[in-house]
Amino acid sequence: MLPWKKLDTAREPGGRELSLWQRADEYAIRVDGQSLMGSTRSASEVALGVRGCAGVASARAPRVLVGGLGMGFTLRAALDTSPPDARVDVAELVPAVVAWNRGPLAHLAGRPLDDPRVTVLERDVGTVLREADGTYDAVLLDVDNGPAALTARSNRGLYDAAGIARVARALRPGGVLAVWSVSDDAAFTARLVRGGLRARTERVPKGASGRGRHTLWLAVRAR
């Protein structure tokens, strides 16, 4: 088997090291040496984009926020599901991840950052949500490993009661919050409901093989 080759490294604001790796036509991003995501396991990220934007497919000039760029699979699916007049903001805290998606990773998801509907915000998605007020028809969050499997404590604020309240304010009436997670979390579902959102979960395949599942939450703000 071919060995992995390290292509680049970068530091998150909190000090953790992100690294980009390649083996043949396979890519991986690791955090402090531990696997964070891989290019061969993108089905659940695609599902996040499709499910999260299903409600805006026929909307007029919808606004979408993607939190966490990753390898671009969720962004690509959101663009493919959204109409031509959509505006899609993607919030990515680490500039190197944006650079990787314009460079060695660009082909994986069909160069979604080249789409004129996309605006890249090199900012924390929590800050973007804090400043939004009835702005978005859909918010798609793929940050860390989900509400219960965090690798960085700083991400907890996206998934606690205050974070849910920020998302609810950022959504337009009838807007959808879609959240990706490596596993289910009943406590998070309960927080969504207490936050005034109508929530359900879906278990979706991790990758093309169909082996293993990830969890998506789809939560709707009342009209």
What pLDDT, in 10s, does the model give residues 15-45?
Answer: 999 999 999 999 999 999 988 899 999 999 9
pLDDT tens-digit readout, 122-166 = 999 999 999 999 999 999 999 887 898 676 777 889 999 999 999
Pairing between strand 26-31 and 17-23? antiparallel
Task: Classify 41-221 by CATH class.
Answer: alpha beta
pLDDT score for 207: 75
Give me the residues paired with residue 203 across strands: 215
Residue 75 has pLDDT above 90, yes or no: yes
pTM greater than 0.75: yes
Q: What percent of the chain has pLDDT over 70?
A: 99
DSSP structural state of residue 70: T
Gyration radius from the chain CA atoms: 16
pLDDT score for 154: 78
Q: Say how far apart CA 66 and CA 46 lie, in whole Å.
A: 12
pLDDT score for 149: 67
Mean pLDDT, the chain, rounded, equals 94
pLDDT score for 211: 79
Q: What percent of the chain has pLDDT over 90?
A: 85
pLDDT score for 188: 95
**CB contact set of 46 (below 8 Å; sequence gap of 6+):** 73, 74, 76, 77
